[in-house]
Chain A
Amino acid sequence: MAVELTVAEVRHVARLARLELSAEESVHVAGQLSAILDHVEAVRALDLEGIPATSHPLELVNVLRADEVRPCLTREEVLGGAPAVEDGRFAVPRILGETP
């Protein structure tokens, strides 16, 4: 079965991912993503009932560090790469939504 990502879905995903996308690009990307998802459709169809998920190749557990203070960066190093700084802080345009 062919996967068809709609332009609306692409625009929703672009919004989630914070990527500005023109209407034209949305159509183009919908086609490309559909093609990729179509390709992985075989994997989606595999019957993997009972096979556990592997989220990581390692079987390590409990990797912990001691609660000891390490040197911080200097203020210059912290703010040196920032596009906009004000009063020792990172300046951003107004925020419309509250923190979720």
Chain B
Amino acid sequence: MSGSPVAAAGDDRLAGWETVVGLEVHCELATATKLFCGCPNRFGAAPNTQVCPVCLGLPGSLPVLNRRAVELAVRVGRALHCTIRPSTFHRKNYFYPDMPKDFQISQYDEPIDVDGYLELPSGRRIGIERAHIEEDTGKTAHLGGGGRIHGADRSLVDYNRAGVPLVEIVSRPDMRGADEARAYVAELRAILVASGVSDGRMEEGSLRVDANVSVRPIGAERFGTRCEVKNLNSLRSLGRAVEHEAARQVALIETGERVVQQTRHWDEVEGRTSAMRSKEEANDYRYFPEPDLVPLAPDEAFVEAAAAGLPLMPADRRARLAALVPHEADGLLPASTADQVATTVDLGLDDLVVAAMACGADARLALARTANEAAQTPEAARRLDPQAFARLVELEASGSLSATQAKAVLAELLAGGGEPEEIARRLGYEALGSGALVDALDAVVAAHPAEWARYLAGEDKVAQLLTGQVMKATKGRANGKAVAAALAARRG
């Protein structure tokens, strides 16, 4: 297939086809120690320095389950609206040098979390089939042959990562296309970070994604044959890989060939997937119940304690924020506002907006300034004093500050904190105080009695002249809208 146009194909080649995606996300749990022993769960240590008899699989060693890992798995279940149920561990038997025992302890037919969902910012719900606990493998480096497995002459194994606790979160094939797959992982990552379950670092392997991709003609009910794509190390590679794989499958079908169910490897550099070399017996894992562990049956007290302190999830936060801003007459949120809500929650700035509203700030304006301006420097925005922010929003809403001025004051607030009124004065916007505006207006009316009379008589276009005079008198520091409003008010 190399040399075919498939590798360069984008979504436009898939007219008439629907891409179906289900994702398996492996998430390293943010515990202090490994799943079955007291070795530190830490990234980046010198090779083979974070191991003990248990995670090295030495003869005679036995696993003991980490309570915190179970608690975090419970939090995952809660955050994904799963049923949390009694579960057991099995052994998944296969030989591979990165597995110290040559079996992996994993949950098989009785996982801890089942039947949940994740709500995307678009409002679409993606079903979660299950989330189960398992141990990670070690890391293998391939020497010779350019560091790739093919062509290498030997490999070196580091077991520091062996036994690190994972949850594998398996979605239903509910996603349609690369964008939605990316949105799912982004949302899942946000949920896992918010739950304190994971640091979410894809680049360090804290989050690893395998994608099951199939295609079907739009309107068809039956799923196509799927391929599992591995080695997706970023949202970008996930999106590219799904697009590429879907295009590859469509090209196959359109040329009369069949898609063969297989596991494929994503090559980020080449930008294509290729079939993984696997042994014919590789899928006979000979699962059986792990006799060295006892079943897990978390009771309600355990589950409640584990889930305690779980913050609002992004979808709930979006809903909370959206409920606070004015809706259209049809009860819907304008698309631009929905985007602002999503951005604000994504950056963790929704608390700022909500708090500012509680201080009396205008909802739509507070959201706009947050999503458009504060969002540029999210770190600083998260430190912003909501009261100060609320007062700034009110200065703008009341017309005391122009939009341009308000943005300038906000930039100062973000850069160094302080009081918005003081910053406004320092920037020379203090004349905009309503007292100063009234004084200037008095002077202009007194100096232009004829024009004022015409305005009073209903000649609206004179307002422009009067406003210009006010602006002149205030050396341009007045807010045009505020002046117009003041004129209108004086006319009665």
A residues within 8 Å of B by Cβ? 12, 15-16, 18, 55-56, 58, 60-73, 75, 78-79, 86-100
Contacts and interface: CB of A to CB of B under 8 A. Distances in A.
A88 B46 contact: yes
Given A67-B32, A69-B33, 16 more contacts: A15-B281, A55-B291, A56-B291, A63-B64, A64-B70, A65-B67, A78-B49, A89-B47, A94-B154, A97-B276, A97-B277, A98-B265, A98-B277, A99-B98, A100-B94, A100-B96
A17 B37 CA distance: 27
B289 interface: yes
B305 interface: no
A2 B449 CA distance: 119
The DSSP consensus for interface residues of chain B is: loop
B278 A97 contact: yes
Contacts of B33: 67-70
Q: Which of B96, B153, B286 has the most CB of A within 10 A?
A: B96
Contact of A91 (B98, B154, B293, B297): B154
10 contacts: A15-B281, A18-B95, A56-B291, A61-B86, A65-B67, A89-B141, A92-B97, A93-B154, A99-B98, A100-B283
B427 interface: no
B99 to A, nearest CB: 8
Nearest to B153: A94
A75 to B, nearest CB: 6
Interface string B273-288: 0001111011111101
Contact of B68 (A15, A67, A89, A92): A67
A95 B142 contact: yes
Contact of A99 (B46, B137, B302): B137
Interface string B24-47: 000000011100011110000011
Nearest to B165: A67
A16 B280 CA distance: 10
Contacts of A16: 281, 284, 286
A66 B156 contact: no
Interface of B: 31-33, 37-40, 46-53, 56, 64-70, 86, 94-98, 137, 140-142, 144, 149, 152-159, 230, 263, 265, 276-279, 281-286, 288-289, 291, 293-298, 302
Given A15-B281, A68-B32, A69-B39, A98 B276 contact: yes
B281 A63 contact: no
A15 B281 CA distance: 8
A15 B286 CA distance: 13
Contacts of A12: 281
Given A60-B294, A90-B97, A95 B283 contact: no
A66 B67 contact: yes
A98 B155 contact: no
Contacts of B285: 100
A86 B48 CA distance: 12
B209 to A, nearest CB: 15
A87 B47 contact: yes
A89 B96 contact: no
B66 A64 contact: yes
Nearest to B96: A99
A90 B39 CA distance: 19
A41 to B, nearest CB: 21
Nearest to B150: A96
Contacts of A73: 51-53, 56
B52 A72 contact: yes
Contacts of A75: 46, 48-49
Contacts of B53: 73
A14 to B, nearest CB: 11
B48 A69 contact: no
B156 A87 contact: yes
B257 to A, nearest CB: 24
Given A95-B97, A100-B96, A65 B297 contact: no
